[in-house]
Amino acid sequence: MLLVLVTTSATFAQKRTYSPLSRYGVGELNTYGYGQNTGMGHSGIGIRTNEHINFLNPASYSAIDTMSFYFETGLTGNSQTFESTGGQEKYNNIDFSYFAMGFSLSKNIKTSLGLRPFSNAGYKFEFSDNTSTTRAVGTGNLSAAYGGLSIRVIPQLSLGMHATYLFGNLRHTTFIEFSEDDNAYKYGLQNEMHASDFFLDFGAQFSHQINETDQITAGITFRPQSEIGGDFQRTAAKGLDYAEDGKLFSSNYIIPEASDTLDVSGFEMARSVGFGLSYSKSDFLTLSADYVLSNWGEINFPDGLTQTKNNSRFSAGAEIIPNFRSTNYLSRIRYRAGIHYGDQYIMINDNDLKNFGITFGLGLPLNRTKTSVNIAFEYGTVKPSGNLDINENYAKISLNFTFHEFWFIQRKFD
């Protein structure tokens, strides 16, 4: 069998993955946070900071200064290498990551708004034998526009909530052609999923001040299992010439008994629970660790192909500032590192998919302000637990910009 992996377009009108594993479910999930979290192994459920927007726990927004306004955006460069007995393929791309803003509504109520990728599909591969060739192509993305609210109930306790609107399309197409007969019909099957609905996330953080400089914070997040509205369309057809406009063939001969349009009643958002703990020493050190459990194994997808499983992820990281008040710029940089390990929500032929990664990052301050440039590097692997013939190695470079302004200041003199 010959396996060939080539590029395709995906999400946010850009390419985010080239993985053939994004063929299943809702594609490759994006469960990670923003600039600071990326450099710290993607941890942050227990982190409270007034320097960045911490998307991983909506309760963290209450740490934003009352007079501060934050705007964040980022770019990600991604390199993926896939290996199998058929050879090796490598792909690179750069794409827009997200944008978000955070600000105060009152002394104890803070908010964040943003747009980020939720999942994406992007692949094209083929295999052949002596009589036929099968090609599979996947494109599309699901995006998440969210609004978050955090309330400081008492000085030690904050509660938060995200309301997220999930929208977008995923399209998976399979073609079969017979090489021995040039006049034979080509056959195609196209599954297209459209999602358009809201779901909620909840979070809480409890902090204990050990002394003037040291603090520990425990955090928890919860996403209930909920149905996602939309539709699912399956089209089977035969033809002679491939189309270039998203259709199967230039002249489709639809096969009615194999085509249908369904409500996506079987597509549900998995229940997820996350636990996080952090320790911080003012202007010097932050340590963080998270553990997240999700019940994707209880979710069925209408494509009839996806095999899901309950999955978990552990992540941990550290941030050090050598001397926050130093005149030496290198001493004021935030140095970050972290690790993450877990399994993915899909299985392939009963094979678990293990994901391990390490991260390193820098937070580069702009003068003495809270505006900063954050750079993170990540290297990781995705490997099956059994004899599935594909391994992925990936490397990512993230560039994040955190812009800070003082708003809502009442001037005494004009």
pLDDT in tens, the chain (414 residues): 223 323 333 334 455 677 878 888 888 898 888 989 999 999 999 999 998 999 999 999 999 988 899 999 999 998 989 888 777 888 888 888 899 999 999 999 999 999 999 998 888 877 777 778 888 888 889 999 999 999 999 999 999 999 999 999 998 888 888 877 777 888 888 888 889 999 999 999 999 999 999 999 999 999 999 998 888 888 888 887 777 766 787 777 777 766 676 655 557 899 999 999 999 998 899 999 999 999 999 988 887 788 899 999 999 999 999 998 888 999 999 999 999 999 999 988 888 899 999 999 999 998 878 899 999 999 999 998 877 778 899 999 999 999 998 875 554 544
Report the C-alpha gap between 293 and 272 in whole angstroms: 6
Burial 147-159 (b: 16+ CB within 10 A, else e): ebbbbbeeeeebb
Q: Report DSSP state, residue 15.
A: -
- Residue ranges per domain, the chain? 7-26+33-121+145-169+199-228+270-406
Cβ–Cβ under 8 Å, residues 140 and 120: yes
Two structure tokens written together for 109: 């109520």
What's this model's pTM, rounded to 2 decimal places?
A: 0.88
Q: Residue 241 class from Cβ within 10 Å (0-12 exposed, 13-18 middle, 19+ buried)?
A: exposed
Cβ–Cβ under 8 Å, residues 274 and 294: no
Report the C-alpha gap between 313 and 272 in whole angstroms: 11
Q: Is 13 left (phi over 0), alpha (psi -120 to 50) or beta?
A: left
Burial 14-30 (b: 16+ CB within 10 A, else e): bbbbbbbbbbbbbbbbb
In this prediction, residue 273 carries a pLDDT of 98
Tell me how crowded residue 251 is: count the other CB atoms within 10 A of its CB. 12
3-state SS, residue 181: coil
| CA-based end-to-end distance of the chain | 76
In this prediction, residue 209 carries a pLDDT of 93
Q: Which CATH superfamily is domain 7-26+33-121+145-169+199-228+270-406 in?
A: Outer membrane protein transport protein (OMPP1/FadL/TodX) (2.40.160.60)
